Chain A
Amino acid sequence: MVAFIIRRLIMLPMVLLAATMLIFGLMQFLSPAVRVTLFIGQNINMARDADRLIQQYGLDRPVWEQWWTWITSVFQGNFGFSKSVNMPVLDALMSFLPATLELTMFTVLPMLLGGIWLGVLAAKHQDRLIDHLARVFSVIGWSLPNFIFGLFLLMFFYGYWGWVSDGRLSVTNTVSLGGDLTFIRHTGMWTLDGLLNGRWEIFWDALKHLILPAVTLAFLTMALIVRVTRSSMLNALREDYVTTARAKGLREKDVVNKHAKRNAMIPVATLAGLLIAGFLGGVIVTETVFNFRGLGYWFAQAATQLDFPGVLGFTVFNGALIVVANLVVDIMYAVIDPRIRLD
């Protein structure tokens, strides 16, 4: 297994280099006059300086030269400046990551617990009411566009009832924390930092603001978990060892939980790992609708504004994340199923 892990980790920089080369290659389909608009933004007056800006930022140099300039600065720790969010790329990664991590943390548990529980229940009671309801839920959940669902939630819980608001904190706490030098941001996650600073009002406020985006994400991905769990459980429940276990007189509860479920979890673990990796790469639509800004928001801004340093920085991060996530899933696979050997 160690050799397997090392081999996969060696592939990581090669994958990332290839991804960055691909992006630089795609950049060439956009003329320097188009790429310089990143530095112009909405201030079209600045377009008069387009030629000078193109020269200043080397936008008309050969693609290989631009890539080499970028890669050499990366090795010196400089990933460039993300103009779309007005901060260095590394700062942007560190600034937006906590919101994404926090949202992921509060989404994963309900997604997994709820999805697995409902999927197992549906499989146990195949073709009965609970199974039908679960399948309808999974079809609706997977088909429903997340921005529509999110806007509905926002409309009712924010617009009509005023129970929550957008963003990560209320105005009151934003203002009170603004000049509060005693509040230390250990993690950038308001829930954890509220607890670590002993500020319960911050913790509750942050939790309140997490509910809607987390529910939106969890609801839609839970649908997929339900489908896969149900399908996998049904297959497991039909296996000979399950029949044998029942014939031996084991309680149905033990047959399902101790025997069938463990085997059924293998594809679910794979899916969950990839979903979590997807969350950690940011969820653009949910973050935009709820104004809950994480990596997804940053990437959307960078992409639409042709902020290539931002796009490249995000690609490197997300590429590494996907490779590591796949590796972790493969390892989990081997842990769950001792028959699997990684070599």
Chain B
Amino acid sequence: MFSVKTLRYLLSGLLVALIFVPAIGQDVNNPGTLVVARISQPESLDPAWNFDTASNEVLKHMYMNLFEFEGASVDSFVPAIAVAVPTVANGGISADGLTYSIQIRDGLKFADGEDITAEDVEYSLERTMIIDRAGGPAFLLNDIMVFGVAFSSTRDGDGNLKSTVDSGPLEGTSLVDAISNSITVDGNTVTFHLVQPFPPFLQVLTGGTGSPIVDTEFVIASGGWPGFTGDAAADAENIAAYNNPDLGQETLFELGGGESGPFTLVNWDRTTGEVLLAANPNWVVPSDEWGAVFGERQLDNILFREVFENATRELGLQQGEIDVIDVQPAARLDEIKDTPGVRVYDQIPGLSYDSIHFNFNFQDSINDGTAVGVGSGQLDGAGVPGDFFQDADVRRGFAHAFDQQTVIDDVLNGRSTTAPTAVHPGLPFHDPSIEGIRFDLAAATESLQAAFNGAVWENGFSVDCIYNDGNVRRQVACEVLAANLNEINPAFVINPSPTPFSVFLGQIISGVMPLYSLGWSPDFVDAGNFMDQWMTTGGFYSGFNEIGRLTEFSEGGVVSLPGGGEVQYDNWDELLRLAFAEPDSGNRQALYTESQVKFVEATVAISLTNPTDFEVTRDSVGNIIRNGSLSASLLHGVFKEANAAPNCAEVNRVGGVTLDGSC
């Protein structure tokens, strides 16, 4: 009948057909399981280690904090493990802002069935403080409860553990005593003792980095820090043993079992970049306020996947294999929005801020030959000298020559605010009356003609504008600046220069670049967390860029306070320190307004963008809440069904929309 050869072909064809059984069309793929595809996977699943977006998004669903963000809001909270959100009015916060007393709710349990107690809260935060891994979240707690300075560390400059506190009101106190007394428990009330007022403290307790509540017994049984025993010598030894572990050595790196949140860890496969969570059987909605915002937990599983390739993520979303994806660049949203079955949440206030930075002193790197993009290193038309950006006319001229709106319109399709300073519209204490440096080529010409007593205009210059390779908006920003300056005077040459991120970051640290573009995302949502990075000698950018070299930095000033009186400051460090510690919000506003005025007057940087946030999901995903402070979504009450209704209340609350018109 059939020859052997024919039969072989038929069998092969049948095999191929069986393998390629077309996916039976379902309205909803994998109901009960939400698949989230992000660009990167977590670094660690230990809350004391966590300080990156990918880890935080996963941990937000494994552990609860004392509070949770009220949906999409970044500055209002609902109680979770806490009975109520403390205020001065309800006595939870002392009038001087130094004491926070928080009652812990009864009846909540960890995944292993153990009760969540006030002692667990104390242990969890103290654990973060003593672990204090390099570059981790511990400074958020240690700064305000132990050391009284910004970006503190439990280790000295040589990397050795301190035995005593070396700064602030507790200077001279043993480290053991300082940390163990910073948080105390009385019955089911936890009290936090701050060494200075810190208005964003509730932000820190909510944000997820370093403050999720873990199961003390579980962590200790798993080989973790045993807690304070009361024996000073033993406690000091224990701190030393657990302080600053290498990645992978922290107790909860990939360990589940003591979760306090709605989901538990099933598996983290770092090879495939997949984290699988399952519903925590011992979790209940912690408070009525929580329930009102998020509703009941409805998912059985959440699968977080690292999918590096943009096209692969989008294909997965299109096919329904993936429910939520990262999209890059943001301009892709206008193409994706019309894809059947896809819903785009747009115009959500974003909290990151980009600028083009001036390095105020790179002469040392010119002298030792390590400077990058400075040409001849002299003001001879072929380069720039090390103090080029110390001249305010140069900075002002550059800022007037930058067309911020073009970058926002052409690259982001309008998805950004025109933030004039680092205190952008999404942050508390943003002053909308302050105008930034306007795009004005005539003003740019005037400033640059005056710069260096006319030498800049006469000789010209050549300098690189450096950005991380692949970032389109920073690339376009440099190109716009280059084109406009060249139009003013052909002797003005800016060379847009892409650099791999690793090298780029290393060059920032070394202070060898004259002009570069990068941004900041919040550690906590407060004006101080941003302004410090641009205007203080200890700030991330301003420190490396040596802002103290500017004459404006030390000019000082006086600020009239709305509550009466006035404050004098000698330099920007002092101004921002006063603003940060001021407990009265009216006075804080006055101080931060002053800082914003100075930012613009001195042209500290060229404001680039404050991009809006977004989320892209299948339209079968309901009740997903994007929170701009997390750069992630809260999935506590997400459900999957055909044509699921979005949570418009939360979307609209922050001024967001859905591009399919459903909100």
Residues of A within 8 A of B135 (CB): 39-40, 43, 45-49, 53
- Cβ-based interface call for A261 (8 A): no
Chain B nearest CB, measured from A73 CB (Å):
14
Measured between alpha carbons, how far is A81 from B272 in the docked complex, in Å? 18
Q: Given that A41-B43, A44-B505, A96-B271 are contacting pairs, would A165 and B134 also be in contact in the complex, using a CB cutoff of 8 Å?
A: no
Q: Check if A154 sits within 8 Å of B301, measured CB to CB.
A: no
B274 CB contacts on chain A under 8 angstroms: 174
| Contact between A44 and B540, CB atoms less than 8 A apart | yes
**Chain A residues positioned under 8 Å from B502 (CB to CB):** 34, 37-38, 304-306
Chain A min CB distance to B542 (Å): 12
Q: Interface readout for A34-71 with B: 1 if CB under 8 Å, 0 if not?
A: 11111111111111111111011000000000000000
Which of the 9-residue segments B103-111, B154-162, B610-618, B641-649 touches chain A? B154-162
**Cβ distance B18 to chain A, nearest Cβ, rounded Å:** 8
Contacts of A25 in B (CB 8 A): none
Q: How far is the CA of A166 from the CA of B303 in the complex (A)?
A: 15
* Interface: A321 (CB within 8 A): no
Complex interface: chain A residues within 8 A of B53 (CB): 42
Give CA–CA (A105, B159) in the complex, Å: 49
Chain B contacts of A208 at CB under 8 A?
Answer: 19-20
Bitwise, B504-538 to A at CB < 8 A (1) or not (0) is 01111110000000101001000000000000000
Task: State whether the Cβ of A290 lies closer than 8 Å to any Cβ in chain B.
Answer: yes
Residue from the list A30, A39, A291 in contact with B134, Cβ < 8 A: A39
Interface 9-mer from A82-90, A124-132, A219-227, A244-252: A82-90
Q: Which of A51, A99, A166 contacts B315 (CB 8 A)?
A: A166
Known contacts A33-B509, A42-B40, A56-B159, A81 near B270 by CB under 8 Å: no
Q: How far is the CA of A306 from the CA of B501 in the complex (A)?
A: 10
The stretch of A2-10, A156-164, A327-335 in contact with B is A156-164
Chain A residues near B272 (CB-CB < 8 A): 167-168, 293
* Docked-complex contact B30 and A172, CB < 8 angstroms: yes
Give the Cβ gap from B159 to chain A, nearest Cβ, in Å.
Answer: 5
Bound Cα distance A48, B543 (Å): 9
Q: Considering the complex, give the chain A residue whose CB is closest to the CB of B301.
A: A175
Q: Verify if B100 is at the interface (C-beta below 8 Å from A).
A: no
Contact of B307 among A46, A166, A175, A306 (CB under 8 A): A166
In the complex, B29 has a CB within 8 A of chain A: yes
Q: What separation, in Å, do the CA atoms of A167 and B312 have in the docked complex?
A: 10
Residue of A nearest to B323 (CB): A171
B307 neighbours in A (Cβ, 8 Å) = 166, 291
A165, closest chain B residue (CB): B321
Instruction: Let me know if B308 and A46 touch, CB within 8 A.
Output: no
Give the chain A neighbours of B30 by CB distance below 8 A. 171-172, 175
A165 and B301 form a contact (CB under 8 A): no
Report yes or no: B157 in contact with A43, Cβ–Cβ below 8 A: no
Cβ B308 vs Cβ A158 within 8 A = no
> Quick one: closest A residue to B319, CB to CB?
A162
Give the complex CA separation of A292 and B231 in angstroms: 52
Q: Is the CB of B33 within 8 A of A175?
A: yes
Chain B positions 1 through 42: 1 when the CB is less than 8 Å from some CB of chain A, otherwise 0: 000000000000000001111110000011001010000100
Residues of B within 8 A of A24 (CB): none
Contact B267–A179 (Cβ < 8 Å): yes
A40 to B136, CA, bound (A): 10
Give the chain B neighbours of A88 by CB distance below 8 A: 248
CB-based contact A290/B312 at 8 Å:
yes
Can you list 30 A-B pairs, Cβ within 8 angstroms, ordered by A? A30-B503, A31-B370, A34-B506, A34-B510, A36-B506, A37-B502, A37-B505, A41-B43, A43-B52, A44-B540, A46-B135, A48-B135, A49-B134, A52-B153, A53-B135, A56-B134, A85-B270, A86-B43, A95-B270, A159-B318, A162-B23, A163-B20, A167-B305, A168-B272, A171-B35, A175-B276, A179-B267, A207-B19, A208-B20, A288-B308
Listed in ascending order, the chain A residues whose CB lies under 8 Å from chain B are: 30-31, 33-53, 55-56, 81, 83, 85-88, 95-96, 99, 151, 154-155, 158-159, 161-168, 170-172, 174-175, 178-179, 204, 207-208, 211, 288-291, 293, 304-306
What are the 3 A-B residue pairs with the smallest beta carbon separation, nearest first?
Answer: A46-B135, A34-B506, A162-B23
Binding site for A on B (CB under 8 A): 18-23, 29-30, 33, 35, 40, 43-44, 51-53, 134-136, 151, 153, 155, 157-159, 246-248, 266-267, 270-274, 276, 278, 301, 303, 305, 307-309, 311-312, 315-316, 318-321, 370, 500-503, 505-510, 518, 520, 523, 540, 543
